Structure 1
Amino acid sequence: MDLPFLLAAVERGDDIAVFESLDDGVIDRLTGDDGVTLLAAAAYAGRHEVVSRLVGWVDPSHPWAGGVDPVTWAAENGSSWVLDSLLSLDRDPLREDSAHRRALRVARAALDSGAGAGLVPPPAHRAVITDLEAKLGVHRTPDELMARALVHADPGHDDWLASLCRIAWPESQERFDWARAVAEGAGEAGSLARRRFALDAINFLGFGLNPDIDDEPPFTREAVGFLRPRLDTERDPYALRTVVAAFTGYCSREELPAVLAHADHPDPGVRHGVALAFPALLADRPDSLAVLLRLVDDPAPVNRASALHALTRSPADTPAVRGVLAAHLTDPDFDARLEAAIALALRGDERGTPVLDEIRRGIKNRSSRGAGRLDDFHYELRARTPGP
């Protein structure tokens, strides 16, 4: 095993290089000190996905260099995702001496002592506590959970996300009513952080919903009625992103075109929300193709890739569409190039073949970048090919 290579990849945040090496059989040889060293390095670097991959092959309770206990370190430092991976093999968190209970005590003590004050970003002790309490059957009210999220009031912080996840599961009319009341009480003249959090909660309560085929939560139509006017009135970019995402999740296909008004919004996150509304829009509204083609040329790479992905699902096939796709075969963004090549290939246009071939040559195994997307493409291609 090339431990120096793996440690260097962890240090620079190159998870894919680590995963490719582990998939090559290296993981079978990680049961000794090298495995413990790599696990500790990934945890210290905050590479929680690497930690998650290693756990199961490397003993997550084995002390690190200097006698550091992994669970204690993660809880004390508020490293919520790393801690979750380290605890993933503990099948009985409710026993009195469980690592979960120990981690909760450590995290509470660290929070009370003010550990990590002044760090950027702040440690996620509240996220650790929120997640561990849920696993140990300690229930908190939505107001308590929101209060934890609003300490830092950062939608990108783990404290915010952990509180949202606990509020949104399981979904209920009561939780929706709570979130709506908070959002209404924190209008334009109220607390921006409270409004953002409440709108996020409404969005989380509808995650994964497809009203056209799934059973709807009882508050689905209430959510649509609440969100629709906010597409026109919300001025905060983050809140508007959330309104677009939530409305897209709750509304019917016929109501979806309302989000198109924000396709040219100055905030890239808002435009991304519109891009994600496709291809449902294209299925019934060919006139929305012009909006999608503008998003294909968005300055934000993730928006271009999302719009190009929508074109892989679109039935639109004109010289103009193919010309746009061909132009993005040299896009500087990897995902955008891949989606453009797939969209052309699905239309029987061989101009995308060299790009697909180049990406295939760079794939070492199933962990390589683009490997999963190419598998999806080949499945779809087979599905479109008439049988004998």
Structure 2
Amino acid sequence: MRKDNKAMYAPNGEPESTVTVLLTGADSQLSKALIRVLAKAAYRFDGRTFRVHALSHAQLDIGDKQSVAAAFAHVKPDWVINCAAYNAVDRAETAADEAFRVNSLGPELLASECALTGARLVHISSDYVFSGEPAEAAELALNQNGLTDSCLSNSGLTESGLIERGLTESATPRPLSVYGQSKLAGEQAVLRILAERAMVIRTAWLYGVDGHNFVKTMLRLMATAPYGQPLSVINDQIGSPTWADALAHLIWQLIASPLNDSGGPKLFHYAGQGQCSWYEFALEIQRQALALKLLDKAVPITAIDSLSYAAKALEKGNKLAPRPSYSALNSDKVRQRLTGQNPALTHCPELWRDWRWQLKAMLEDYAAKGL
């Protein structure tokens, strides 16, 4: 019920429940997408009204026990959505203590406070918990409509005869970087402490109109590149680009779903459908941006392998953390959980579409905002 004591009603005529949500990492692109998507839905999803308290790092340091306890005492959340993270993948290699404090200890403290107060937790994790090495490739689901020929040849997976649908939740994590190790430790802590009262969602290659991300970086570089100077983009890392607004829709619908009380621990993968290399992603960004007149000229884009790219970065004094060679995610489990065989039940038409459709929706939004 609302504080003014005026009941709101769901379409079935039943009184609508109000869910209080503590949203961490308020300055992140996903937090901003969550707030934007919820506002467009008039703060209602599937018969529930949401009241959100979004706290930035300055307001809530999730790696500090007292800060977490104070936030819970003030907000009294029914749900917590943890978008706070240490995302500086390369810096984490030399700042492991801070990466683990935020990405591992932080989720553990949130989960412990949820256990004390009865709140539930949605925790966001990463495809970087995987390595993409052959041991993981053997655990992938097979699909004849998976990777493009160029992706397969670049990834080296053609030799094994595998055409992939993406990593499922049953694939064994083998993080290559400190960042990936810290994210894995965080999700394990959450599931250990809260079990079925938590949802861990691994996502990949996240982008949107807010914050720093690959799409916005490519648009800036393409717009400012000197005439004829090519951009070099990695072609042997394969993943699934994911629009932040689509992930936000998924999160609200999962929280609002009556299914959230059933079953055991909930580990889900969600990403845009399909898969590509960073190089193919860059080509598609440019193609769509030119069509939308976000760019006024095409820029040459050349493919480069990871080792060569890292060597060039090292020449400039930048040491890169290792990235997974293959980390495309299979979203079948969460799709079946949420919709069964009926994708029309979702609020977002791009939710289960190919990553190119999600990119189109984001770029149209970007153009409309005049960014």
What is the TM-score of this pair, normalised by structure 1?
A: 0.28
| Structure of higher RCO (CA pairs closer than 8 Å, 6+ residues apart) | 2
Between Structure 1 and Structure 2, which shows a larger proportion of strand residues?
Answer: 2
- Name the structure with the higher helix share: 1
Give 1 or 2 for the bigger CA radius of gyration.
1
